[in-house]
């Protein structure tokens, strides 16, 4: 019995020693671990042991929400004390999610403070308050910028030499020039997300995305959009109207994903938009089409097709170049009842895509309708013998 107790004691001591290995790491490594936690969770580690009591204070970042404090004044006081204690140190990250109507804060002074302390990651959601200060436009160390529900100042000059990721969500822009300068003034920008909402105060009516470094773009925008990005690898767009969307240039192996919400009227869609997507883009490799866009691509109704027994007219006088030279993957996604002409679109891709490798149909059918669909699908001729068809 005595021997068993000694053995258990040794095991417990061994486990305790192994569990505390993290405390034996150098302080700068522990600080790096805490940097990837929210400030609330980093502060919680102070109860682990006396050695951890003040480690969170050395973390070069702040990740907070006012709701985590007993009142608004406590939140402001905590942030002010943080900046005071880091007057001479590096602040790598600032994330603030503030949308409370019960208090106002001087966000401009906080952003001014971090832009002079080598900030790399800035993430601000600020539902009310002053404009974002001009100091943001010339931050030399910023790598990742995410702004949500803020108002931008008019920019005379933008220089963000290290910015690689920019996400602008529900922003109020003073003019079109400021938005364009944010993009053109970021010479190493690789990822761009722009989500817009209807806002009478928003003065930017044209979105010009011109960049020689951009690789990924996501746009949820109802205004005029022009894309000129020769290295672009992926473009995702949710568009409520197909007009005023122009792609001048994109990468040689680009992936395009277009989603058209089915809640809008069929009349809002422009056939010229769909025509331009497939005919003017000769180098697209992957194409994903979702929802209501299907009705616009196929012009003939199935009743007319059945009556006249003729080849469906899929709105192209000639086969688009991308189907002949570059298109290797197509996905058609539909989350609503089957459209007339849907099978004609599938047939057109299979018949005319010379190097197509995979056609994925992410569509919903009842069990009975799916059997008929698969029977018709198997009988369709394929231009590419290597093409694999997946029905999800």
pLDDT digits (tens, 9 = 90+) for 71-110: 878 888 888 887 877 666 778 888 888 766 565 677 888 8
Query: Which residue in this structure is represented by tokens 């931050």?
Result: 139
| Cβ pair 339, 295 in contact under 8 A | yes
Which range has the top average pLDDT, 101-105, 260-264, 282-286, 373-377? 373-377
pLDDT digits (tens, 9 = 90+) for 322-379: 888 888 998 887 655 555 567 777 888 899 899 999 999 887 777 777 888 888 888 8
Distance CA 141, CA 116 (A): 9
The confidence score (pLDDT) of residue 392 equals: 80
Longest dimension (CA), the chain: 95
Stretch (H or E) spanning 145: strand 144-148
Residue 196 has pLDDT above 90, yes or no: no
What rounded mean pLDDT belongs to the chain?
76
| Cβ pair 298, 314 in contact under 8 A | yes
What pairs with residue 382 in β-bridges? none
| Cβ pair 113, 135 in contact under 8 A | no
Residue 186 has pLDDT above 80, yes or no: yes
The confidence score (pLDDT) of residue 88 equals: 67
What pairs with residue 94 in β-bridges? 62, 122
The confidence score (pLDDT) of residue 201 equals: 60
Residue 297 has pLDDT above 60, yes or no: no
| Cβ pair 112, 133 in contact under 8 A | yes
Distance CA 346, CA 384 (A): 14
Confidence at 303, pLDDT banded by 50, 70, 90? very low
Nearest to 123 by CA among 134, 110, 106: 110
pLDDT top residue among 299 and 243: 243
| Cβ pair 264, 240 in contact under 8 A | yes
Residue 139 has pLDDT above 90, yes or no: yes
Nearest to 174 by CA among 191, 151, 146, 140: 151
Which range has the top average pLDDT, 42-51, 160-169, 363-372? 160-169
Q: Residue range 150-168: average pLDDT?
A: 94
Residue 22: CB atoms within 10 A of its CB come to: 12
The confidence score (pLDDT) of residue 274 equals: 57
Give pTM, 2 decimals: 0.76
| Cβ pair 118, 141 in contact under 8 A | yes
Query: Which residue in this structure is represented by tokens 């938005």?
Result: 179
The confidence score (pLDDT) of residue 290 equals: 75
pLDDT top residue among 241 and 229: 229
Distance CA 26, CA 43 (A): 18
């Amino acid at each position: 019995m005595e021997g068993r107790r000694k053995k258990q004691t040794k095991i417990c001591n061994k486990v305790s020693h192994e569990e505390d290995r993290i405390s034996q790491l150098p302080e700068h490594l522990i600080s790096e671990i805490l940097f990837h936690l929210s400030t609330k969770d980093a502060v919680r580690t102070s109860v682990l042991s006396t050695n951890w009591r003040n480690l969170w204070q050395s973390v070069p970042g702040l990740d907070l929400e006012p709701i985590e404090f007993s009142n608004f004044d406590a939140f402001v006081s905590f942030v002010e004390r943080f900046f005071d204690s880091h007057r001479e140190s590096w602040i790598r990250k600032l994330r603030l999610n503030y949308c409370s109507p019960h208090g106002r804060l001087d966000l401009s002074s906080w952003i001014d403070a971090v832009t002079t302390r080598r900030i790399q990651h800035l993430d601000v959601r600020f539902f009310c308050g002053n404009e974002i200060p001009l100091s943001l436009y010339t931050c030399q160390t910023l790598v990742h910028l995410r702004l949500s529900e803020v108002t931008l100042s008019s920019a005379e000059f933008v220089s963000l030499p290290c910015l690689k990721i920019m996400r602008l969500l529900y922003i109020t822009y003073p003019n079109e020039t400021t938005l364009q300068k944010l993009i053109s003034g970021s010479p190493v920008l690789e990822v761009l997300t722009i989500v817009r909402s209807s806002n009478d105060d928003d003065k930017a009516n044209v979105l010009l995305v011109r960049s020689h470094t951009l690789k990924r773009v996501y746009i949820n925008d109802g205004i005029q959009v022009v894309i000129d990005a020769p290295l672009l690898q992926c473009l995702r767009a949710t568009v409520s109207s197909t007009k005023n969307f122009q792609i001048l240039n994109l990468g040689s192996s680009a992936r395009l994903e277009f989603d058209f919400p089915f809640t809008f009227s069929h009349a809002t869609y422009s056939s010229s938009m769909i025509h331009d997507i497939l005919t003017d883009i000769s180098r697209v490799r992957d194409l994903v089409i979702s929802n209501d866009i299907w009705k616009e691509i196929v012009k003939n109704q199935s009743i007319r097709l059945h009556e006249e027994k003729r080849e469906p007219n899929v709105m192209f006088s000639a086969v688009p170049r991308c189907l002949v030279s570059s298109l290797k993957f197509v996905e058609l996604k539909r989350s609503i009842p089957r459209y007339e002409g849907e099978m004609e679109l599938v047939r057109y891709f299979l018949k005319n895509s010379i190097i197509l490798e995979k056609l994925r149909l992410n569509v919903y059918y009842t069990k009975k309708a799916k059997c008929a669909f698969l029977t018709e699908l198997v009988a369709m001729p394929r231009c590419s013998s290597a093409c694999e068809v997946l029905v999800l």
